[in-house]
Structures are given as structure tokens and as C-alpha cells.
A and B are shown apart, each in its own frame.
Chain A
């Protein structure tokens, strides 16, 4: 079983839609969870950083962590064409990040 699993997509939605991106993980030792956005030929850009189970909101973005199910989600409200990118989940394993494979999102105008 892979440590972190993420559907690669692509996920195509119309502008204004609510987007749901998800990752599952197998290692219960993970305590910190991140979502990064990566545009083509750019580095990962930190979007959300969470520690405990529950929700964290920042503008149009909400990160959700369910440690009991080993499942994390990122919701994007009122999606915009500029949100088109690859979204990477990452888990902190003491001095290193373990990444999912990334979900490619396309928001159609």
C-alpha cells in the first residue's frame, strides 16, 4: 500500500463550481498535513497547513483532516480559471514531506 494516495485526475469543472480534492494515507504517525498548488514548470506553493483533525478555512479554501479515516480533503469554493493547476497533498514525516502524486484541476471559463 502506498503511503499517500491521490487521484491524478484530470478534474474538469466549470467556473464557479465547488471543487473537492482528496488524499488517503496509511501511516498513522503523520501529524501535519499540507496542500500545495503547482503551476506548470513552477515549484509547489503552500496553500494550507493543518495539524489536527477538523476544518481550517482560508478565503475560498477549506482543508479538512479526518485522522480516524486517514483521509484529507481540500475544498475550493467559487473556483476560478486561475485555480487551474496541479494540487499536491503532503504529509510531514519528521524532517521530510511525503507527497501524493497530485490532482490536475482544470477550471473552464
Chain B
């Protein structure tokens, strides 16, 4: 069964450094998303992306964050200058081309640890 893959599984970074989290969505999907889950808290929406532009973003997704689809298969989340509070699991998701109201399928996440 097709799946969303994320790399790396664990990223350790010094505070203030830039980090790029990578995702390969399911191949025929056209809607892409990033969520995060701080330890012990609920999964929170960050951003949705369609047709090479952001569809919606949350308050969390400030100017330190950016997303990109650099080629036909990858979808990336960049955090420009990491803070301690950015430590969390980051999940990528994608959904089918029939519209945004299709079930989103998630990867297994990247655990980001900021030191």
C-alpha cells in the first residue's frame, strides 16, 4: 500500500540553526500538509499546500517556517532559526487529487530535538 515517507526519523539541532524536514507524499496525491505534535499534546495543524502555494496556515506557522515542493516527489518544511519550543514530532500528510475533503494519510514523522 502506498505510504508517506519522512526523513530523517530523528533530527537533533542546536538552537538558532536551520533545519529542513523532508517528506515524500503518496505519488498521485496533490494536497500536502504539515502537522506537529509536542510531547504529550494533541496533533496541531501547521500548513496546507496545493498547486505550489500555501492554502492555509496556522498561527504557529510564522515567518520562521516555510514549505517547498522542490521537485515532483518531495515536500519540505524548513525552520529558519530553531527555538527550544520547536522540539516536537513533525508529521507530513497528503490527500488525493479529488479535493481537500479526502482523508489525509500521514507519515511516521520526524522527531525534532532542539538543544
Beta-carbon contact of B103 and A49 below 8 Å: yes
Beta-carbon contact of A99 and B91 below 8 Å: no
Beta-carbon contact of A32 and B101 below 8 Å: yes
Interface on chain B toward A: helix, strand, loop, or mixed SS?
strand
Known pairs A32-B101, A94-B100; A43 contacts B45 (CB<8 A): no
**Which residues of the other chain, B, contact A60 by a CB distance below 8 angstroms?**
none
Q: Is A18 an interface residue (CB 8 A)?
A: no
Beta-carbon contact of B101 and A96 below 8 Å: no
Beta-carbon contact of B107 and A43 below 8 Å: yes
How many A residues face the partner with a CB closer than 8 A? 23
Q: Is A105 an interface residue (CB 8 A)?
A: no
Task: Please report the C-alpha to C-alpha distance between residue A100 and residue B42 in the assembled complex, in whole angstroms.
Answer: 7
Task: Please report the C-alpha to C-alpha distance between residue A31 and residue B58 in the assembled complex, in whole angstroms.
Answer: 20
Known pairs A95-B48, A100-B42; A46 contacts B58 (CB<8 A): no
Other-chain contact of B48, A41, A96, A102 (Cβ < 8 Å): A96
Task: Please report the C-alpha to C-alpha distance between residue A34 and residue B4 in the assembled complex, in whole angstroms.
Answer: 18
Q: Which residues of B contact A (CB under 8 A)?
A: 4, 6, 31, 33, 35, 41-45, 48, 50, 55-56, 58, 91, 93, 100-101, 103-109, 111
A and B contact pairs by CB, cutoff 8 A, 12 listed: A42-B108, A43-B6, A44-B106, A45-B106, A46-B104, A88-B43, A92-B100, A94-B100, A94-B101, A96-B33, A99-B42, A100-B42
Q: Which residues of A contact B (CB under 8 A)?
A: 31-32, 34, 36, 41-46, 49, 88, 90, 92, 94-102
Give the 5 A-B CB pairs with smallest separation, nearest first. A43-B106, A96-B45, A95-B48, A99-B43, A49-B103
